[in-house]
Amino acid sequence: MSLINTEVKPFKATAFHNGEFVDVTEANLKGKWSVVFFYPADFTFVCPTELGDLADNYAELKSRDVEVYSVSTDTHFTHKAWHDSSETIGKITYPMIGDPTGIISRNFEVMIEEVGLAERGTFVIDPDGVIQIVEISAGNIGRDASELLRKVKAAQYVAKHPGEVCPAKWKEGEATLAPSLDLVGKI
């Protein structure tokens, strides 16, 4: 069953955020757009490249009223240690949620049970707490934050413009489509 158009399930966790440990729940994912970005583990190889790329695009996401939450099955203590010891991870200013019990990973259906790690899952959640975008990648394939940003822009656009859809490769400011009988077979 797809998680698209489902509401985020309840959870409570601790995150490392801007030098502090903070509580985060599903309520934090409501009231603005959110990106929940799962990755397998701290102190690994592909993960820091993804998280660093996301950090490089964080200001633009924030300017669009989007909060980013990275999540792994590591603890918030491990997130702090990684943040303090890695130049790439040290530039992160979004919350890094610890999910050592796997509850959040299971809620989003990205838990790899046999190893206790999360898949590379990306979820874009609207201000009502409803999942609008789901992307899952194999562990050896890194994601691109610029593509995520494009998808966030498209999701925000269609949310503000009911009856319009964004075609493939749509970029902000380009033409959209208004599905109708007149378009059938003409695209």
Q: How many domains does the chain have?
A: 1
Domain presence at residue 180: no
Find the CATH number of the domain harbouring 19: 3.40.30.10
Which whole-number Å values give the CA distances from 8 to 105, 123, 148, 171, 180, in the listed order?
A: 12, 10, 19, 27, 32
What is this structure's pTM? 0.95
Confidence check: pLDDT of 1 > 80:
no
The active-site residue, picked from 47, 54, 117, 154, is: 47
Domain presence at residue 98: yes
Which residues 6+ apart lie within 8 Å of 61 measured at CB? 35, 67, 68, 149, 152
Confidence check: pLDDT of 186 > 80:
no
Out of 15-19, 66-70, 165-169, least confident range: 165-169
- The Cα–Cα gap between 74 and 72 comes to 5
Find out whether 24 and 15 touch, Cβ atoms under 8 Å: yes
Identify the domain containing residue 55 by its residue range.
6-143
Domain presence at residue 71: yes
Domain presence at residue 182: no
Confidence check: pLDDT of 31 > 90:
yes
Domain presence at residue 150: no
Segment (H or E) for 80: helix 76-85
Residue found by looking up tokens 């610029």 in the block: 146
Concerning whether 47 is annotated as a catalytic residue, the answer is yes
Confidence check: pLDDT of 183 > 80:
no
For the chain, the C-alpha Rg in angstroms (whole number) is 17
* pLDDT confidence of residue 72: 98
Mean pLDDT over each residue of the chain, to the nearest integer: 96
Query: What spatial distance separates the first Cα and last Cα of the chain, rounded to whole Å?
Result: 30
Tokens of 60: 């633009």
Q: Which of 168, 158, 151 is nearest to 57 (CA)?
A: 151
Find out whether 13 and 99 touch, Cβ atoms under 8 Å: yes
Domain presence at residue 174: no
Domain presence at residue 178: no
Percentage with pLDDT > 70 across the chain: 99
Confidence check: pLDDT of 177 > 90:
no
Q: At what angle do helices 46-63 and 145-160 cross, to 10 degrees?
A: 30
Domain presence at residue 68: yes
* pLDDT confidence of residue 184: 83
- pLDDT, tens digit (0-9, with 9 covering 90-100), for 58-86: 999 999 999 999 999 999 999 999 999 99
